[in-house]
Chains A and B, each alone.
Chain A
Amino acid sequence: MVNTNKPSVKLKVSNLSINYGEASALRDVNLDVYENEIFGIIGPANSGKTSFLKTINRMDIFTPGMKVVGDIIFNGTSLDQWRNVYALRSRIGVVFPLPVGLPLTIYENVALAPRLAGVKNRTELDIIVERCLTRAALWDEVKDRLDSLGSMLSGGQQQRLTIARALSQEPDLLMLDEFSIAVDPVTTMRIEDVLKELKHEMTIILVTNLVQQAYRLADRTAFFLMGDCVEMGNTEDLFSGNVQDERTRDYIEGRFG
């Protein structure tokens, strides 16, 4: 399924432009994200990476002044036709740059999404919580204190809690926005191992400003620069210097940004 010649398209973005008032954040982006791949997006700050993610799960409608033009097709349906934006979001897990442990217990942090989806059975919730925390490599550290506040965990633990929470939604698509900013290198490596496992079950979009992280994880990588998608291709090709635009090579080799 993964290695067929023509992988199925999970997310199809056509002619996407994003404006904040007069300022343009993203211009005319076209890209496909395939099922069960890790799709890396690299680029310096202010390149429109976060705006791009916001658009995919329709967080744009709560951001005043954000204007989106273009078409995004998710699971074969255009986002405009998803009439229930909450249902759409529940299919997409998001991990933000800074860890957000909600001010609930660790257990409730992970049980929140299943509860919202209507799971009431305590045994069922227990199973979900344990599974998600285990997959986020956090279970062993917190299994004895599930009733303590999630917001009191350390930064790295909170970030893994955030990932566990995203997994508890059972998403089709997991979007990570520079997840390693507030996490130590060891934890980062552990999370990266988790992601490699997870891609067998879901599609992952990984926005990162660590070029090497994209190299380690991503199957394909896009390079965003100042609101343009400069380059997109197999990660192998990009990092072996096989690029169409010189700027990509410069960025990857660390000559700017």
Chain B
Amino acid sequence: MSNERILKTTRQGKPGQGAGDRNLDWYIDKAVQVLVLIAGISAIVFIIGIFTFITKEGISFIFESSYRISAYTIGTLEEKEFPEELLEELEILEGETYVDAAELIIAMEETIGKEATDQYKGLIIEHSVHEPFKVMDFFFSTRWKPTSEWKPTYGAFALIIGTASVTGLAMIVAIPFSLGAAIYIGEFATGKTREALKVLVEMLAAIPSVVWGFIGLSIMNPLIIKAFDVPIGLNVLNAGVILGLMAAPIMATIAEDALKAVPDRYREAAEAMGATRWQVIFKVVLPAAKKGLLAAILLGLGRGFGETMAVLMATGHAINLPTSIFDSVRALTATIAAELGETAVGSDHYRALFTLGIFLFVVTFVINLTADLVVRGVKKG
């Protein structure tokens, strides 16, 4: 096509490009706009949706109190020398739940008679109060016995400590590892080594957590038993190391980005003053990148905290307050994963697991929010 022809076509436009025409390009543009809008907004919708769902299932557990004649009620009354014939009659009510004391009294009058009710209602009400969630118990009791026939208890302290100890150890493993890797890749490695390492680290970050759990179960376990002469190799040490290795690649990637964001002129200026490579990194680059590095650590922390499959497989999954790194523990996330499938929808146990979910959600939310605020600080500074 000659130049003149091209010019002519451009000026006149293709057919269908007059003022009033909407051609295919116009519709594609509109459609893409709508699709992108939906995708963008979906994040908000999902967050709100998940939060509502977890809260709806779990929140009633926190505030609920009711009256219930349970095996525990019957047993306690028996100990209190409650008349045996009345006890047999009362057992008919076992498993029934009443929203308030008045309803319970009506039911009692129907079964054991008005006279006995008046005499014993104080005792019965006292031992049938049903508050599955007590703040002190939930956060500070180690008794997580949701399936107890006698009296289920929901003390999450051991689980919280389990998660905290594993995550803490994981950070001790991951922070030096990931920062070291980031410094090497970002500051020392050049050319092909650097590119290869970056790809490999990203690949490492993509390994599914069940694979890590499998490594913990089948490699770390016997290794720990052999090396430290302990009876069980599925413990805080095992899970902490596995989780640390899992979190390190993603932390290294983000930390390396933070180092790369430090302008080269800072390095040159410090080098020109006679600083060695190490002094440049330690005195200038790391201080300049400290916010980004902190964000990397916090994201790793969030990842470790929320990880489920690997900790389920490597911790030993035993409710236990650890006294050393060779004790088995159980994590919050692993508890939800392992138990939720076996609970009746709407039962106390089911709702207790959702309460754990709320707790996890709040903690990870706070960690991520902190990380986000820190990263924003990076951009401003």
Q: Which residues on A are within 8 Å of B, measured CB to CB?
A: 57, 59, 62, 64, 86-94, 96, 98, 100, 102-104, 112-113, 115-116, 162, 165-166, 169
Contact = CB atoms under 8 A, between A and B. Distances in A.
B266 A89 contact: no
Contact of B274 (A87, A102, A103): A87
A163 to B, nearest CB: 12
B59 interface: no
Interface in B254-304: 262, 265-266, 268-276, 279, 283-284, 287-288
A62 B272 CA distance: 11
A72 B287 CA distance: 36
Given A59-B268, A102-B266, A103-B266, A112 B287 contact: no
Contacts of A64: 190
Interface of B: 190, 262, 265-266, 268-276, 279, 283-284, 287-288, 381
Given A96-B269, A166-B273, 8 more contacts: A64-B190, A89-B272, A94-B272, A96-B265, A96-B272, A113-B273, A113-B274, A115-B283
Contacts of A62: 271
A60 B15 CA distance: 60
A116 B266 contact: no
Contacts of A94: 269, 272-273
Contact of B268 (A93, A96, A165, A169): A96
Contacts of A100: 265-266, 268-269
Given A104-B284, A116-B279, A90 B268 contact: no
16 contacts: A89-B273, A90-B273, A92-B272, A93-B272, A98-B265, A100-B268, A100-B269, A102-B284, A102-B288, A103-B262, A112-B275, A113-B273, A113-B274, A116-B275, A116-B279, A166-B273
Most chain B Cβ neighbours within 10 Å, of A57, A86, A91: A86
Most chain A Cβ neighbours within 10 Å, of B265, B274, B275, B279: B274
Contacts of B265: 96, 98, 100
A6 to B, nearest CB: 31
Identify whether the interface residues of B are mostly helix, strand, loop, or mixed.
helix
Identify whether the interface residues of A are mostly helix, strand, loop, or mixed.
helix
The 9 A-B residue pairs whose C-beta atoms are closest, nearest first, are A90-B274, A89-B274, A94-B272, A103-B288, A100-B269, A86-B274, A113-B273, A100-B265, A86-B276
Contact of B287 (A89, A104, A166): A104
Contacts of B287: 103-104
B353 to A, nearest CB: 47
A88 B274 CA distance: 7
Given A103-B266, A103-B288, A59 B274 contact: no
A102 to B, nearest CB: 6
Nearest to A98: B265
Contacts of B288: 102-103
Nearest to B274: A90
A186 to B, nearest CB: 24
B374 to A, nearest CB: 16
A116 B273 contact: yes
A116 B284 contact: no
Contacts of A116: 273-275, 279, 283
Contacts of B190: 64
B271 A89 contact: yes
Contacts of A113: 273-274
Contacts of B271: 59, 62, 89
